[in-house]
Structure formats: structure tokens, C-alpha cells
Chains A and B, each alone.
Chain A
Amino acid sequence: GQQVMQIPQYQHVQEGEDFTTYCNSSTTLSNIQWYKQRPGGHPVFLIQLVKSGEVKKQKRLTFQFGEAKKNSSLHITATQTTDVGTYFCAGQISSGSARQLTFGSGTQLTVLP
């Protein structure tokens, strides 16, 4: 079955440093989504990437989708304490009417003040 792997599992950074998490799928994806889960909270949708090689930015966050549509990354510039949480990628394969999301295991980000 489809697998989505995410690295690193944990990342500790000093406030103001940059952060990157990487996501790799065993199969070609129709799209990839990114979610953030704060400690004790639930996943919240951040963004969706659909096109090969797509790059999207949200303020300090930059999301990329690989050319082969099998990998993706999230880069945060100049982290802040509000960035603390676990970041998940979730890949989707379109197969008929089925739209199942497969989540990676997440990268837990800790930002030290």
C-alpha cells in the first residue's frame, strides 16, 4: 500500500533559526497537503499542492512539491515560538471516487526562546 515517510521525526531549533521537514511518498501523488497539529490539538489544514514543481508561500512558510510528485518539503524561515507543533504531510492518490489521504508520521518542532 501507499506509504508516506517524513523526516526528521523531531527538530529543536533556536527562535529565529530556519526549519525544514521533508516528505516522501512511495507512489506518485495527485496532490499533497500539509497540516499542523499544536500540542493537545487536532490537525489543521495549511495548504495543498497539486502541480508538479509547485511552490507556494504563506508568510514565513514555503511549501514545495517535487517534479515527480512523490516528494514535498515545508520550510519555515526565522521560526517563532508560535510555530511549535507537529507538521504532517498527507498524500492523496485519486482512484475513481476514492479520495484517501495517507499521512506521514510528522515532524515535531520545538522552538527554544
Chain B
Amino acid sequence: DAGVTQSPTHLIKTRGQQVTLRCSPKSGHDTVSWYQQALGQGPQFIFQYYEEEERQRGNFPDRFSGHQFPNYSSELNVNALLLGDSALYLCASSLAHAGGHIQYFGAGTRLSVL
């Protein structure tokens, strides 16, 4: 039973570029949430996808967008990268109708913006 998988593991980009991060949820899960974790901070909620739609969004600009596919996998896109976008990006999957919405995290993608 595969857990949450994310790709790539590391990425280096320059300011102004665009990036796409990918996530496959844990088997049987239908909801994917994306988080940004800066060094020494807790994960900050970006948005959540369920049934291929963005269900909820945190306090992030429109440069951050996403998508969920019919197989429940998801992508996070960030346009016009800024230095401040450098962080660990975590994908977490969960089951919509399970109690408590427990998050199962992937290992993350470490994004460095130069």
C-alpha cells in the first residue's frame, strides 16, 4: 500500500520562472491538500482539492494554483516565482468522509528560488 508520493524531491528555479509539483495520494484517499513549510515554521495551508475542485484556499496569492485529476493525483503550480517562495512544499492526502480529516504527508519537494 503506497503512501503519499511527491515529485520531484528537489528543485532549483530562478526568479520569475514557473514550477509544477506533483503528488499521488495514499491509496484509497480522495482529498489532497498542499502546504508550504518555511524553515523553522509549521506547514501553512495553501489549498485543498476534492472531486477535482478547489474546496478551500489559504492566504496565498493567485500565483499559486492547482489541479486534481480523476485518479485523485494533484499538481501545484506556482507562477512568477519569488525568492520568498523557497520552502518545502508538502502534499497531504486524506479521506473526505473519515472523521477528523487526518493528514498523511508525503516527503515533500524542496524548492529553492535563486
Contacts and interface: CB of A to CB of B under 8 A. Distances in A.
A103 B102 contact: no
A88 interface: yes
Given A42-B107, A44-B105, A105 B100 contact: no
B103 interface: yes
B54 to A, nearest CB: 11
A92 B59 CA distance: 16
B56 A43 contact: no
Given A31-B100, A50-B100, A92-B100, A100 B56 contact: yes
With a 10 A CB-CB cut-off, give which of A48, A92, A103 has the most chain B CB atoms.
Answer: A103
Interface of A: 1, 6, 31, 33, 35, 41-45, 48, 50, 88, 90, 92, 97-106, 108
